[in-house]
Amino acid sequence: MEFVRLKYANNKLINSDIKEHREVIEEYVEKKGYEYVGFIPVLFGPSGKTLEIDLIFKKPAEDKTEPAKK
Protein backbone atom coordinates (compact mmCIF):
# COMPACT_ATOMS: atom_id res chain seq x y z
CA MET A 1 0.00 0.00 0.00
CA GLU A 2 0.99 3.57 -0.56
CA PHE A 3 -0.24 6.59 1.40
CA VAL A 4 -0.07 10.16 0.04
CA ARG A 5 -0.70 13.04 2.47
CA LEU A 6 -2.62 16.10 1.22
CA LYS A 7 -2.85 19.27 3.30
CA TYR A 8 -5.66 21.81 2.93
CA ALA A 9 -5.48 25.52 3.60
CA ASN A 10 -7.30 26.48 6.80
CA ASN A 11 -9.05 29.73 5.91
CA LYS A 12 -11.47 30.76 8.66
CA LEU A 13 -13.59 32.91 6.35
CA ILE A 14 -14.13 30.67 3.33
CA ASN A 15 -14.15 26.99 2.45
CA SER A 16 -11.33 25.67 0.36
CA ASP A 17 -11.95 24.32 -3.12
CA ILE A 18 -9.45 21.54 -3.64
CA LYS A 19 -8.36 19.85 -6.83
CA GLU A 20 -4.92 18.50 -5.91
CA HIS A 21 -6.35 15.07 -5.14
CA ARG A 22 -7.34 14.59 -8.78
CA GLU A 23 -3.79 15.14 -9.99
CA VAL A 24 -2.37 12.74 -7.40
CA ILE A 25 -4.97 10.05 -8.17
CA GLU A 26 -4.37 10.36 -11.93
CA GLU A 27 -0.60 10.13 -11.42
CA TYR A 28 -0.77 7.01 -9.25
CA VAL A 29 -3.45 5.21 -11.27
CA GLU A 30 -2.46 6.08 -14.84
CA LYS A 31 1.32 6.46 -14.56
CA LYS A 32 2.35 4.28 -11.63
CA GLY A 33 -0.17 1.43 -12.01
CA TYR A 34 -1.81 1.67 -8.57
CA GLU A 35 -5.49 1.30 -7.70
CA TYR A 36 -7.15 4.04 -5.67
CA VAL A 37 -8.60 2.57 -2.47
CA GLY A 38 -9.94 5.60 -0.61
CA PHE A 39 -8.92 8.23 1.90
CA ILE A 40 -8.60 8.73 5.65
CA PRO A 41 -8.92 12.15 7.30
CA VAL A 42 -5.89 12.51 9.60
CA LEU A 43 -5.99 16.08 10.94
CA PHE A 44 -8.92 18.28 11.92
CA GLY A 45 -9.10 21.96 12.83
CA PRO A 46 -10.75 23.26 16.04
CA SER A 47 -14.08 23.67 14.20
CA GLY A 48 -13.99 20.10 12.88
CA LYS A 49 -12.87 21.04 9.38
CA THR A 50 -10.65 18.42 7.74
CA LEU A 51 -7.16 19.84 7.28
CA GLU A 52 -5.22 16.78 6.07
CA ILE A 53 -6.08 13.47 4.47
CA ASP A 54 -4.15 10.41 3.37
CA LEU A 55 -5.04 9.08 -0.08
CA ILE A 56 -4.65 5.30 -0.13
CA PHE A 57 -3.39 3.34 -3.13
CA LYS A 58 -2.47 -0.29 -3.66
CA LYS A 59 -0.78 -2.25 -6.38
CA PRO A 60 -3.17 -4.62 -8.14
CA ALA A 61 -2.71 -8.24 -7.10
CA GLU A 62 -1.16 -10.41 -9.74
CA ASP A 63 -3.38 -13.23 -10.95
CA LYS A 64 -1.58 -16.32 -9.68
CA THR A 65 -4.23 -18.84 -10.61
CA GLU A 66 -3.13 -21.59 -12.90
CA PRO A 67 -5.04 -22.23 -16.10
CA ALA A 68 -7.51 -25.09 -15.86
CA LYS A 69 -6.15 -28.42 -17.08
CA LYS A 70 -8.21 -30.48 -19.51
Structural domain span for residue 36: 2-9+18-58
Q: Which residue has the higher pLDDT, 4 or 61?
A: 4
- Report how many domains make up the chain: 1
- Residue at 29 is within a domain: yes
Q: Is 1's pLDDT higher than 70? A: yes
**Over the chain, what is the mean pLDDT?**
85
Q: Which residue has the higher pLDDT, 56 or 18?
A: 56
Residues 16-43 pLDDT 10s: 667 789 999 999 999 999 999 999 999 9
Query: Could you tell me what percent of the chain has a pLDDT over 70?
Result: 79
Cβ atoms of residues 25 and 36 within 8 Å: yes
- Residue at 41 is within a domain: yes
- Residue at 65 is within a domain: no
The confidence score (pLDDT) of residue 53 equals: 95
